A and B are shown apart, each in its own frame.
Chain A
Amino acid sequence: MEQQEKSPWKIIYTVILVANLVYILLFYWITQTYTIS
């Protein structure tokens, strides 16, 4: 029961971390594409 209660939170935390990782990857792509080397 406790495991079931904990797993939605684990999913939520994972979603947030993954979303932010995606943002950073996007920023990396933007930096590489638009910055003069």
Chain B
Amino acid sequence: MGGNLDYRDWIVLSVTILFIVIFGIYRTRKNRSVQDFIKGGNNTKWWTIGLSVMATQASAITFLSTPGQAFHDGMGFVQFYFGLPIAMIIICLVFIPIYYKLNVYTAYEYLETRFDLKTRSLAAILFLIQRGLATGITIYAPSIILSYVLGWDLIILNIVIGLLVILYTVSGGTKAVNVTQKQQMVIIFFGMLIAFYLILQYMPDGITFSKALDIAGANDKMKVLDFSFDLNNRYTVWTGFLGGTFLMLSYFGTDQSQVQRYLSGKSLRESQLGLLFNGLLKVPMQFFILLVGVMVFVFYQFNSSPLNFNPKANEAVISSAYAEEYRALESQHKKIEEQKRVLFLDGVQDSERSLVRELNKKDKALKERAKEIIALADDEVETNDKDYVFIHFILNNLPKGIIGLLLAVILAAAMSSTASELNALASTTTIDIYKRNVAIGRTEAHYVSASKWLTFAWGIVAISIACVANLVDNLIQLVNIIGSVFYGNVLGIFLLAFFIKYVRGTAVFIAAIITQLIIFAIYFMDVLPYLWLNLIGCVIVMILAVFIQTFMQSNKTEPIDNIKGLE
């Protein structure tokens, strides 16, 4: 471990991260009750909730992977978030008032009130599986990338990130998570602004921001909106609104890692405002992060870039029998880069656009062939290099000290998300499984202690998953794929609970199990973009539950109007 970081970067990185951890432990050292530990004492203000919700969603994957996504595929990924504001409003109107009225600690507690214990337990278990996996990826993602580019040991990185988070999350619970996330968001925001500013400064003289956008557009990176109905397009306005609304409804409305953030609100109003803060700012925030990626792309039109940004891929091929062919491809790639650089030095003229298109087509073919060669040299190396673009740019171009700051951004983002996730995993296990099913009627102190031990245990599970994980796709897409496979089903259970009073626990329970199996099947058959799985899962479980209820014995037509706690 050590890599090639300058001492200034080490100082900035270490001080920033240690400050967050120590501050988090210090500020929350007096937590005593379950309410303190899980709900942060119920006195969180809306802006803290807003930042906390944002920080929970924006993990290191957002900052490592999203700019790379834009570098390769342009701005279109922003459409993924179009459903978010709609989801926020629905959650404020429907979900939060019910959670508050019932004074629940977890989203799944509500399901027992409405249905029965087994449905509550099933939903909690689906959450634990999905979130458990995702938390492992949240730790793994920054670790694998930093280990490749800095030469740090992967296992040690997983352990360090995991343990730092465990420290303050075990110590202070929800309040520690909230407090540290505010600091983390400040660092993240500050770091990304500086990066953006510096990229623009590094453009050649005469290349203004506007000309940079022109160049990006000429390279097909500025197609923000896609109105096509092509099912093969992962990101369109339609997948964003429809699939995205369902994904976001499920994520923010039923995933305990987010629900716990806003249930810590001082009041119903504070919780609602905190969510709506995200409804207002999330889309521009993601647009900005993608724009950073596009500007990195434009930067590399004037500076040389590798054929593949994954340093392990390059290492694998250079020491193989394919080295000569690879070098020939690199040489052709450099020639294309030079041609484009000359073209773009005075901006891009209309008459040059078809030539640009032609050059990009050739370059793309070179990169595809490079990937084939890499796979031949070593079939275990990741050839998809989207996740390495931004870190490569940071390490090779930014000033000393700023590199440390950007690394702190990435680690802070990883820690903020992991902390929320561990907090939620422990809370759900304590409240929905342990307290409700295993150890009923113990003291407050016992459950606080159980929450802390479970936080620690889930932290170890997450570190372990991180140590055995493997990159299978661009990371930002991987976590959303994992979510999409489970979320539709859980959302459907909640929508049935809120709106279709006719349906009872057993019908929902059976429908949910069948639906989950169907969604697994659809996913593995790979017939649809993953965002649609949210919608499909939700619709299937709802239809199946109604269908099953219709064929069951009791209360076929009478609505359930006397659920305790909702009178």
Residues of A at under 8 Å CB distance from B? 9, 12-13, 15-17, 19-20, 23-24, 27-28, 30-31, 33-36
Indicate whether B347 reaches chain A with its CB closer than 8 angstroms: no
Shortest Cβ distance from residue A24 to the other chain B in the assembled complex, whole angstroms: 7
For residue B156, which residues in chain A have a CB less than 8 angstroms away from its CB? Answer: none
Closest A-B pairs by Cβ, 6 of them: A34-B217, A34-B222, A27-B224, A20-B85, A16-B279, A31-B224
Main secondary structure of the interface of B (DSSP, over half): helix
For residue A23, which residues in chain B have a CB less than 8 angstroms away from its CB? Answer: 283-284, 287
Q: Are A19 and B82 in contact (CB under 8 A)?
A: no
For residue B220, which residues in chain A have a CB less than 8 angstroms away from its CB? Answer: 35-36
Q: Are B353 and A36 in contact (CB under 8 A)?
A: yes
Indicate whether B88 reaches chain A with its CB closer than 8 angstroms: yes
Q: How far is the CA of A23 from the CA of B78 in the complex (A)?
A: 11
Shortest Cβ distance from residue B3 to the other chain A in the assembled complex, whole angstroms: 38
Residue A30 contacts which of B224, B272, B273, B280 (CB distance < 8 angstroms)?
B224
Q: How far is the CA of A35 from the CA of B447 in the complex (A)?
A: 57
* B219 closest partner in A (C-beta): A36
Q: Are B214 and A34 in contact (CB under 8 A)?
A: yes
For residue A12, which residues in chain B have a CB less than 8 angstroms away from its CB? Answer: 273, 276
For residue B154, which residues in chain A have a CB less than 8 angstroms away from its CB? Answer: none
* A14 closest partner in B (C-beta): B89
Residue B280 contacts which of A16, A24, A28 (CB distance < 8 angstroms)?
A16
Residue B225 contacts which of A9, A17, A19, A27 (CB distance < 8 angstroms)?
A27
Q: How far is the CA of A36 from the CA of B92 in the complex (A)?
A: 41
Q: How far is the CA of A26 from the CA of B225 in the complex (A)?
A: 10
Q: How far is the CA of A23 from the CA of B88 in the complex (A)?
A: 17
**1/0 contact trace for B89-107 toward A, CB 8 Å?**
1001000000000000000
Residues of B at under 8 Å CB distance from A? 75, 78, 82, 85-86, 88-89, 92, 213-214, 216-218, 220, 222-225, 272-273, 276, 279-280, 283-284, 287, 353, 357
Q: How far is the CA of A32 from the CA of B218 in the complex (A)?
A: 12
Residue B89 contacts which of A16, A28, A31, A36 (CB distance < 8 angstroms)?
A16
* A13 closest partner in B (C-beta): B89
**Could you show 8 A-B contacts with beta carbons less than 8 Å apart?**
A20-B279, A27-B75, A27-B287, A28-B224, A34-B213, A34-B217, A35-B222, A36-B217
Q: How far is the CA of A9 from the CA of B357 in the complex (A)?
A: 49
A-B contacts besides A20-B82, A20-B279, A34-B222, 7 pairs, CB < 8 Å: A9-B272, A19-B280, A23-B284, A28-B225, A33-B217, A34-B214, A35-B223
Q: Are A16 and B88 in contact (CB under 8 A)?
A: yes
For residue A13, which residues in chain B have a CB less than 8 angstroms away from its CB? Answer: 89, 92, 276
Residue A20 contacts which of B213, B214, B283 (CB distance < 8 angstroms)?
B283
Q: How far is the CA of A34 from the CA of B209 in the complex (A)?
A: 13
For residue B214, which residues in chain A have a CB less than 8 angstroms away from its CB? Answer: 34
Q: How far is the CA of A22 from the CA of B88 in the complex (A)?
A: 17
For residue B224, which residues in chain A have a CB less than 8 angstroms away from its CB? Answer: 27-28, 30-31
For residue A35, which residues in chain B have a CB less than 8 angstroms away from its CB? Answer: 217, 220, 222-223
Q: How far is the CA of A21 from the CA of B75 in the complex (A)?
A: 17
Q: How far is the CA of A26 from the CA of B280 in the complex (A)?
A: 15
Shortest Cβ distance from residue A33 to the other chain B in the assembled complex, whole angstroms: 7
Q: Are B225 and A16 in contact (CB under 8 A)?
A: no
